Structure 1
Amino acid sequence: MTTAPRWLRTAAVLAALSLGSIAAQAQEIVVSAAASLTNAFQDIGKAFEKTQPGAKVTFNFAASGALLAQMTQGAPVDVFASADQETMNRAVTAKLIAEGTRADFVHNTLVLIVPATAANPPQKLADLTGDAYKRISTGTPASVPVGRYTMESVQQAGLTAALEPKWIYGESVRQVLNYVARGEVDAGFVYRTDAMIERDKTKVALTVPTSTPISYPIAQLAASKNAATAKSFVAFVRGAEGQEILSRYGFSKP
């Protein structure tokens, strides 16, 4: 029996390792998701990887507008989950989204929170005009969806001018949550799901009605190099197990 030359055997091993590496890379995806999805999506990622041997999900969490800016500038992303429809609409207009992959997957609720130690929480939005509330936080409206929802509600209540000098803007809804939890502001507008995370440091004073439903869309990126795994991840998020995890964190079905 003739033994293959050492160089040939080495080449075969290297080729096999290379193919294995390519196969592994084909199952790796990057998911850019709204900051409010952080905890729920981290759990979803772990659950998804268990159902897809070899799959690896890397998350990038930030305000939806900041994520859109990154993708517009060429950031390699496979799946995008936004906290509002407007940002996803802009992604579609920029031709970043794979056609036919966009779908709503959860709803949320806007709430007003105060530090847990606050003695007399506001009973209505108009109470925020009082001297007890000198610093009020929400997300930067231009890039953070919770900021836009907040401004719509404040405008509907006729409080735009009265509250204008009091705003402290955060780069994401989680930054707003942190401001309130640390007592750096007197009140803040966040999603109910965020308030649930800091129950020992904050408390919900009001549920704030919004004219625009707070619905989250998810979609594959047109430039995704791992479309099959991206498609599987989106299906998992929308499926029974993904929805159950989202429900545990306070999200509701669309």
Structure 2
Amino acid sequence: MKKQWKLVTVLLFLFVVSACSGKESTGQPSAEKESVELTISAAASLKDAMTVIQNKYKEEHPEVELKFNYGASGSLQQQVSQGAPVDLFFSAAEDKFDKLVEEGNIDEKDGTDLLRNELVLVVPKEGKTVIKDFHDLQKEEVDQISIGIPESVPAGKYAQESLEKIDVWKEIEPKIVYAKDVRQVLSYVETGNVQAGIVYKTDALISDKVNIAATAAADMHTPIIYPAGIIKNSKHYEQAKVFYNYLQSDEALKVFTEYGFITD
């Protein structure tokens, strides 16, 4: 009886060893990576490029669900300042980003200036227009022009700076129709609700309903820089760090370039 018991014990041991060896030979991990959801607050002008990047990242990191919150950088910054659960902030303005650094919400080592953009004057593609450059906004025939709210929409702030630089702001300010973000400005122009709007070049390039009438010279406004950074109190800091690094990869930068952003 004892010999039989020893035989059973030996056979069981060999079975366990064989099973373990089989698992190792397949190269399969003993457990799948833990699924996480990352919340990224990003400027509205980034939406199209980030949608492509989201899909590419999902292929490489199926365990990570990217949840995007798009809007005006100023509004998104205020949400983070008030404690909204965000893992990464991608702004269209340095001052909004710097405020989060000053508050201690983003560590300087976890932030970088990633992209640049240009500011353009757009008009509806359908119909005739008297607008060929920024000075034409003073013409009597032009009665409605849209820009983002300067206090919360960086593109709106850059637009106001540009119009002040060429000394036309005071004259055309009564014609301004303010929008909650740059995409709303684009929509107003596409639908013909306004005769012109000032948006980022990247926004104009994705629309087949507007024409670019003029591009603002670089010295007309504050440099348009897009910083990205990890929120310090992120519950998924390590996973956010991996995505943050991916945004700086050649693969991601190529996508941004294809959508008109400047990456050098």
TM range (shorter): 0.7 to 0.9
1:53 deviation in Å?
3.0
Q: Specify which of 188, 212, 220 is matched with residue 204 of structure 1.
A: 212
1:24 matched to 2:32: no
1:21 deviation in Å?
10
Distance (Å, rounded) in 1 between the aligned partners of 2:173 and 2:93: 23
SS at match of 1:178: helix
Residue by residue over 1:185-236, the C-alpha shift from the partner in whole angstroms, topping out at 9 and shown as x without a partner, is 010000011011112x111000012332111000000111111111111111
Within-5 A mapping of 1:127-166: 127-166=136-175
Aligned counterpart, 1:182: 191
Within-5 A mapping of 1:1-254: 23-25=34-36, 28-199=37-208, 201-209=209-217, 210-254=220-264
Compared CA separation, residues 118 and 94, structure 1 to 2 (3 A): farther
Unpaired runs of 5+ residues, structure 2, are 1-7, 9-30
Higher relative contact order (CA 8 A, sep 6+): 1
CA contact (8 A) 1:114 1:121 kept: no
Identity of aligned residues (%): 37
SS at match of 2:242: helix
Distance (Å, rounded) in 2 between the aligned partners of 1:222 and 1:241: 26
Unpaired runs of 5+ residues, structure 1, are 2-19
Q: Which has the larger radius of gyration?
A: 2
Distance (Å, rounded) in 1 between the aligned partners of 2:63 and 2:130: 49
SS at match of 2:109: coil
CA contact (8 A) 1:99 1:222 kept: no
CA contact (8 A) 2:33 2:63 kept: no
Distance (Å, rounded) in 2 between the aligned partners of 1:121 and 1:55: 50
Letter matched to residue 24 of structure 1:
S
Distance (Å, rounded) in 2 between the aligned partners of 1:165 and 1:41: 35
1:120 deviation in Å?
3.1
Compared CA separation, residues 21 and 170, structure 1 to 2 (3 A): farther
CA contact (8 A) 1:113 1:206 kept: yes
State the TM-score, normalized to the length of structure 1: 0.88
SS at match of 2:162: helix
Distance (Å, rounded) in 1 between the aligned partners of 2:73 and 2:247: 18
1:23 deviation in Å?
2.3
Distance (Å, rounded) in 2 between the aligned partners of 1:118 and 1:84: 34
Distance (Å, rounded) in 2 between the aligned partners of 1:22 and 1:244: 28
Question: Alpha carbon RMSD of aligned pairs, Å?
Answer: 1.6
1:70 deviation in Å?
1.1
SS at match of 1:31: strand
1:132 deviation in Å?
2.0
1:40 deviation in Å?
0.6
CA contact (8 A) 1:114 1:187 kept: yes
Letter matched to residue 35 of structure 2:
A
